[in-house]
Amino acid sequence: MKIKVKLPVIVRVDNTRAIFVGKNVTTTARTKHVNIRTKYVRKYVDDGIVKIIFVKSADNVSDIMTKNVPGDPYKKHSKHLVTEKI
């Protein structure tokens, strides 16, 4: 099964530290435990396969899947994830 993917894959992140670690080669005592995983991410970013961009938490549609989101933002974001079948 072949799935066509438009490159680069856009990854929207609301954590500036995660963006920094994904784009830069750093190893500290605090990041050492994720060092192997971030090497894969960095390689994909360097190769142009993945592009990491910052998005404010208030505008992050995926937050309703990962966080407790109050009513208004939930209603706003859920419209992007669920569509009616025509």
pLDDT tens figures, 24-33 = 766 666 656 6
Q: What is residue 65's predicted lDDT score, i.e. its pLDDT?
A: 82
State how far the Cα of 23 lies from the Cα of 42, in Å rounded to an integer: 6
Domain boundaries, the chain: 1-55, 58-86
Q: Which of 62, 66, 12, 17 is nearest to 38 (CA)?
A: 17
Q: What is residue 54's predicted lDDT score, i.e. its pLDDT?
A: 92
Low-confidence ranges of the chain (pLDDT < 70): 25-35, 82-86
Q: What is residue 20's predicted lDDT score, i.e. its pLDDT?
A: 82
For residues 81 and 61, the answer to whether their CB atoms sit within 8 Å is: yes
Within 1-86, residue ranges assigned H as helices are 16-23, 35-46, 63-66, 71-81
pTM for the full model? Answer: 0.64
Cis peptide before 8 (omega within 30 of 0): yes
